[in-house]
Structure 1
Amino acid sequence: MAEEIKTTCPYCGVGCGVIAKIADDGNVSVMGDPDHPANFGRLCSKGSALAETIDLDGRLLHPEIAGRRAGWDEALDLVAQRFLDAIAEHGPDSVAFYVSGQLLTEDYYVANKLMKGFIGSANIDTNSRLCMSSSVAGHRRAFGADTVPGTYEDLELADLVILTGSNLAWCHPVIYQRLAAAKAARPGMKVVVIDPRRTMTADIADLHLAIRPDSDVALFLGLFEHLIANNAIDQNYVAEHTNGFAEAFASASGVSFNEVLELTGLPAMQLREFYRLFAATEKAVTCYSQGVNQSSSGTDKVNAIINCHLATGRIGKPGMGPFSLTGQPNAMGGREVGGLANMLAAHMAIESAQDRDRVQRFWQSPAIAERPGLKAVDMFKAVGDGRIKALWIMATNPVVSLPDADAVKAAIRACPFVVVSDILKTTDTAPHAHLLLPSLGWGEKSGTVTNSERRISRQRSFIDAPGDARADWWQLAEVARRMGFADAFAFASPSDIFNEHAALSAFENRGNRDFDIGAYARIDKAAYDAMTPFQWPQPVGDDRTVTRFFAKGSFFHPDRKARFVPVEPPASDRTSADYPFTLNTGRIRDQWHTMTRTGKSARLSAHIAEPFAELHPRDAMEIGVGNAGLVEIESPQGKAVVRALITERQARGSIFVPMHWNDQFAAKARIDAVVAPLTDPFSGQPASKNVAVAARPLKAARYGFAVSASKPQSLAAAYWALAKADGGWRLELAFDHAVEDWCGWCRSTFGIPAEIEPLGYADRQSGDLRLAFFNGTRLLAALFLAREPVAVARSWAISQLAADHGDLRKRFALVAGRPGADKPDPGATVCSCFAVGVNQIVAAVRGGCRSVEAVGKELNAGTNCGSCRAEIKGIIDGCLAAAAE
């Protein structure tokens, strides 16, 4: 009988419940938890593939000091001593922690307590700085606290849902499916998508506003002025519960409608329709994510949105409010414990002497940080210039994810002492550490996470810890003990930490702080283990049924009133003659962050297997890049080389490149090496959506595609992109010169024994070359080369890794690079869950399927996680439009 463990997904901020099933033979499978109120049983493609990512390939299993295996005592003694030495010689601000939204709340709490309360510095920041710190700053300015007012249910109850800077269909797929289902049930619901790109999310939109990059402030200033001009202000709410309306109105009235048109680049008709919809629709929710936050004006964007909701009283009521969608599974939990350099635990303020005193008394600590620490970008500048002498990086990969990533790499390499705690030994950051500490991964660690709607859920362990791997909180507590703080860090389990965290949230609270889970401060280990998902606040002795904030005011400024924040449109065009394009970075559907987890899944790599740049057709033509050609993206910070994806979904003058690829999976695709270290002045969040770059074609002497049963090694090529595939690996290639001995190149790259002779052919006139190596009836590797990007039926070629090749005709078909008539090529994967390709969907449409539902009935595509439904609809629409011509 399979054992079932309820846990929580480790990917985005939706916080989906997962049921892990462990069979008698130890095999793990996953399904959505139908009882979890975030997802009600739904999972996206990434969540559905979780069981495919828990192998030990590449795992760090033992502490390593300078590359040699060490024991925990030696490793932890070294960490404590090097940090103590740096503090003694250079002071507390000479050390730093860089942590992650991949940590559990309990890990985050111990790290924050050690750094701010016992070391006495606030130099602890997190990769959550890169995704939601502008929301935090905007909330604190407007509300007096980092409070998310609403719930996911509001998206289903609203009559108007505005998605700004959010590709919900790909980045928060389960919430997108909840919204799509609500819209299908109530066709009168309107959806507005605000995004320079036409993403898959725009396919659900009644109105897509393709604004210019960073013109959001102007757009919402214009909306604010329109609301005033059309008597749509809730004057009672404004008078009773807010301050600063006149100043906000003055800033909005200084921007005319024509100026908004000029700044946003929108047609007047679209702008008027958006303003009319908002003014006329009481139940309106504005969801925003990285497209708003990742900007040098991100905090002002957040406040421009909040101002419109405050002015209309549309906040904290069912179906109404501004809603920040966090990017990581525990970005919110990190905020709760003060994981950001400018916050204290339990949503207390580091700039408040009263709050600092309160936290210090609760912790009974010898010191408390008296000023904000270094935010992420500034922290690594301090590492680079020598101010930081000892650095501990936990559960994140800054050499890939931080802006100006090559400078970050150089800074880490120059730091006198660097510790990296991670589950993998093969990240881009790990080789530059002096000490590696093996951490627990998803399925092995136990604790809590908080999702975007303030819902706290348990992550539970169901796999034994591999090797010497240990929990991050345990590593931190052990170092704290060795630094002389044993009594304050005598935690025996995650439940001990959670109890203390909950108790601090209630300590001297009296209802004047938003974050209060005091009701959980005394639960025992059994109750903690059995904990079901709940939303905060949960004060002691309060049977709360209210899950929203601010419908009747009660904000967290001293006068309990909200603040309108005057904002002004920023100068948003950063392009120049040398750097004429605007780069926008972001996520794709089936990969996560820097691919350390999702890169293990062949299913997730099937949809998009290599890094790419979305270019408008006219831009591509002008710079001389053909479809599937290679394009070099350059800024003053660095360069990247990716595949060109030419599409009219992209606006002219703009380029989109995903942020996931790293040096483990591609030759030169770390796109954050191109991003400038420009940040928002209030939040410190980097501007990853508006980067001035140049783009040019990268010509190659030969292009290649290969499949291999074993992982390729020592890739000698000007360009390569590697991805896991069923039965082995797939590899895209380009060479700046023709290799004299391609057989030798294959033997070296794919580990082919010398006694195995290839089957193949070469066409000197066309430049085409095909080589395939077989061991008995099994394919070891195949290489396809051409002078142009290789036209090979890739999905079919990959499937040959698992095929029997006893029939000589099948071997010749492989060398030809195309299947026979009896084996149609499924085409590029669209539905990862059921491995359905574009050619199969086109065939279904030609066979009579005229809707996404019909295609799903025929092929199962889109019937599991639903992430591909927008893409399927686009294929159907394209086929029907072509048939009508």
Structure 2
Amino acid sequence: MKANNSTDTGCPFCGTGCALSVECSDKGVRVKGDKSNPSTLGDLCFKPIQMAKALDANRLATPLYRSRKTDPFREISWEEAICVLVDQIKSLPTEALYFYLSGQLLTEESYLFTKLTKGYLGTNNVDANSRLCMASAVVAHKMAFGSDGAVGNYADIDDADVILISGSNPAWAHPILHRRILARKKSHPDTQIIVIDPIRTETAEKADLWLGLRSGSDTMLYNALLGELYRRGTCDLDFIDRCSEGFELTLTEALKLSFSDAIALCGLSLKDASTLVELFGSDKKILGLWCQGLNQAVDGVMRNLGFINLFLATGRINAKKGLPFSLTGQPNAMGGREVGYLSNGLPGYRDVRNPQDREVCEHHWNLSSNTISSEVGITITDAVEEILRNEIRLLWVACTNPLLTLPDVEKTTRALNHPDLFLVVQDCVLSETAALANLILPSAAWGEKEGSMTNSERFIKRVRAFKPIPEGAKSDMSIVCDVAKALGFSGFDFTEPSEVYHEYQMLTKSRLCDQSTQEYESLSYQWGGERLYTDEVFATTSHKAQFHPIVSSSLHLNKDEFVLITGRTKQQWHTMTRTGHVPELLKNEEEPYLLINESEANERGMREGDIAVLSNELGSIHLPIRFGTLAVGHLFAPFGYPQAPINTLVPTQNDPLSFQSALKSARVQIAPAKEVRW
């Protein structure tokens, strides 16, 4: 707490990780940027500034329970709630348990879940909503560099000659980074901003060049660029020979199509694509940013690797020439990955398949050898299938709303409503998922708990409380520890988050994400330094970066078929359980909508403001039309609106390597709705 009664903390929204200074007084809560924080320099977007107005909206303040989902909830004590949950866990075989976590949990909370599930319960049936946003980037980083972790940092924006943004709309999803990009452009007008995206987004509107790529053609474009760079003799062969492996096989795949043919299949002009070739062939510093447009795809890992290949081929893994930089979706998705909260992970970027990694964690947790399973747990979309097959009988969801965020809403609803599934939801509000639960555990919200988070650039900061937890609710840390102790497990006698962090940080010692020397109270630290691999020694077995051949693909739509792209809006957050209660954030975003090219709407007899019906084999949704600029045959609709859950139309199709769902490529048909009012 500062002398002026302000509290330094962190923003609970996107992965930018803005640092906040919160002042509490009789007049209410005032949120400002913390200018002393070196990561975000005090800048803020609308969301945290306005969030104080919804801190107490629709809060849960007592555990709720019903043995059957058809019964009404009844209030119970915490003692009874813990007892009910423990009895359920003890009554089921380990393989019937599943845990689904969130990138909005603090690092200490995610660590405790990992310790409880993978260590003491002996199951890797744990996943997190990072599976829906960052899994493909994680796998690609491991394949290319040997480890997860963004290569660069935000300061690379400040001296970039070219900022290449592929599959991301930071003006909406990472507003502070977009402001920093525009500030670079303003101070250095020669800086080029280039956006590759099927939608002419707000980011694209502010760019020097927009490439309206056909969705699904990303790997085709990246291969085409790589092949043409080689043909023109502008690959950095010295770097490739010295620091990498796999280039020849990668190049062979990239050269299978001519440059002109490949670019035509992408729906782009040769002139625009040649601009990219010329830039990558120059000595300019190129910063490559990407996010869900590359990740949320059936070939998401390949899209990531194709983008990374361009930087490796031109020696751009440094401060001088540039680097690829993956943007993280949620505020602590990076911290969750560090503690191993995905189905294959263990703390300190370890893996359950590695016997040495298991042994280190078992020793640290005072467990017997072979307690941690070597079998990777199933992912959340597979867990939905297992619930429907009556194999998963208990699902514990913490701080997320899978009913609206998982693909195929109808199937997810059937699973969560399964009469033999005991659904536990740990959250601060009654979300759509919580409304289907057997047991609801009311947890602390932002502003009420202590811990740490890691942002997109690997910067860790403290999160501090500035208001008390409502009477009847508990911190996520306390809930996990109470359940673990009631199960009879030792090692969970924590009273403060600092104790949890100190235990966890020892598991990072000598790892890429080493935090072992940091003091908790003053925690403000970028692990790995400003950039990773500055010595050109990578985390792979050979210590060389790895090229990976990727197969070119392009979009093929049937007659009268569109590809539906989903994403965030600018001022709302995910499923709107918090931001949806702030009038200032709802302005112009009160209702969902469908973005379509005016000409394509007019061809179907639809005007702006009309209601359209979107449909496919999974169902249908009615949405009001807005006109925009998109690649031909493309539509956009925001997710997170419970009155029109767009994932109703998104099938469960996953990347074969990352198992991340393809949330941006559903095939739909569109028609004018008859006698439907919004």
CA drift at 1:160: 0.8
CA drift at 1:570: 3.0
The 8 Å contact of residues 215 and 665 in structure 2, kept in 1 or not, is answered as: yes
TM-score, normalised with respect to structure 1: 0.74
For 1:124, which of 112, 126, 146 is the aligned residue? Answer: 126
DSSP 3-state at the match of 2:324: strand
For 2:589, which of 608, 612, 616 is the aligned residue? Answer: 608
Matches within 5 A, 1:361-760: 361-366=363-368, 367-414=371-418, 415-425=420-430, 427-485=431-489, 487-506=490-509, 509=510, 513-520=511-518, 523=519, 528=520, 530-537=521-528, 546-570=529-553, 572-573=555-556, 575-577=557-559, 580-647=561-628, 649-662=629-642, 666=643, 669-700=644-675, 703=677, 719=678
- Report 1 or 2 for greater relative contact order, CA contacts < 8 Å, sequence distance ≥ 6: 2
Distance between the aligned counterparts of 2:168 and 2:502, measured in 1? 35
Distance between the aligned counterparts of 1:400 and 1:166, measured in 2? 21
Amino acid at match of 2:392: I
CA drift at 1:318: 4.7
DSSP 3-state at the match of 2:268: coil
Report whether the alignment pairs 1:53 with 2:54.
Answer: yes
Amino acid at match of 1:315: I
1:728: which partner in 2?
none
1:64: which partner in 2?
64
TM-score, normalised with respect to structure 2: 0.96
CA drift at 1:109: 0.4
Amino acid at match of 1:85: S
Amino acid at match of 1:72: W
DSSP 3-state at the match of 1:280: coil
2:353: which partner in 1?
351
Distance between the aligned counterparts of 1:223 and 1:47, measured in 2? 40
2:34: which partner in 1?
33
DSSP 3-state at the match of 2:86: helix
For 1:267, which of 266, 269, 280 is the aligned residue? Answer: 269
Distance between the aligned counterparts of 1:369 and 1:178, measured in 2? 45
CA drift at 1:351: 2.0
Amino acid at match of 2:547: F
CA deviation profile, 1:108-149 (whole Å, cap 9, x unmatched): 001111111111111110111111110001001111111211
The 8 Å contact of residues 60 and 424 in structure 1, kept in 2 or not, is answered as: yes
DSSP 3-state at the match of 1:501: helix
CA drift at 1:616: 0.9
Distance between the aligned counterparts of 1:59 and 1:471, measured in 2? 14
DSSP 3-state at the match of 1:258: helix
CA drift at 1:258: 2.5
CA drift at 1:681: 0.6
For 1:78, which of 84, 92, 105 is the aligned residue? Answer: 84
The 8 Å contact of residues 225 and 259 in structure 2, kept in 1 or not, is answered as: no
DSSP 3-state at the match of 2:193: strand
Amino acid at match of 1:387: E
The 8 Å contact of residues 9 and 21 in structure 2, kept in 1 or not, is answered as: yes
Amino acid at match of 2:655: D
Aligned residues: 667
2:70: which partner in 1?
none
Distance between the aligned counterparts of 2:12 and 2:363, measured in 1? 34
Judging changes above 3 Å, is the alpha-carbon distance between structure 1 residues 76 and 231 closer, same or farther for their aligned structure 2 residues? Answer: same
CA deviation profile, 1:349-407 (whole Å, cap 9, x unmatched): 22222212222222222410211111121121212221111110010111111100121
Distance between the aligned counterparts of 1:182 and 1:697, measured in 2? 44
DSSP 3-state at the match of 1:314: coil
CA drift at 1:2: 6.2
**For the pair shown, which has the larger CA radius of gyration, 1 or 2?**
1
The 8 Å contact of residues 286 and 322 in structure 2, kept in 1 or not, is answered as: yes
Distance between the aligned counterparts of 1:484 and 1:256, measured in 2? 65
Structure 2, unpaired ranges of 5+: 67-72
2:157: which partner in 1?
155
Report whether the alignment pairs 1:178 with 2:169.
Answer: no
CA deviation profile, 1:664-691 (whole Å, cap 9, x unmatched): xx3xx10011111111111111111111
The 8 Å contact of residues 245 and 546 in structure 2, kept in 1 or not, is answered as: yes
Distance between the aligned counterparts of 1:514 and 1:320, measured in 2? 21
The 8 Å contact of residues 153 and 319 in structure 1, kept in 2 or not, is answered as: no
The 8 Å contact of residues 590 and 607 in structure 1, kept in 2 or not, is answered as: no
CA deviation profile, 1:829-858 (whole Å, cap 9, x unmatched): xxxxxxxxxxxxxxxxxxxxxxxxxxxxxx
Distance between the aligned counterparts of 1:640 and 1:319, measured in 2? 47
The 8 Å contact of residues 576 and 692 in structure 1, kept in 2 or not, is answered as: no
CA drift at 1:319: 6.0
CA drift at 1:428: 0.9
Judging changes above 3 Å, is the alpha-carbon distance between structure 1 residues 395 and 686 closer, same or farther for their aligned structure 2 residues? Answer: same
Give the 4+ runs in structure 1 shifted more than 6 A.
none
CA drift at 1:571: 5.1
The 8 Å contact of residues 105 and 333 in structure 1, kept in 2 or not, is answered as: yes
Distance between the aligned counterparts of 1:572 and 1:196, measured in 2? 12
CA drift at 1:27: 1.2
The 8 Å contact of residues 111 and 339 in structure 2, kept in 1 or not, is answered as: yes
Q: CA RMSD in A?
A: 1.5
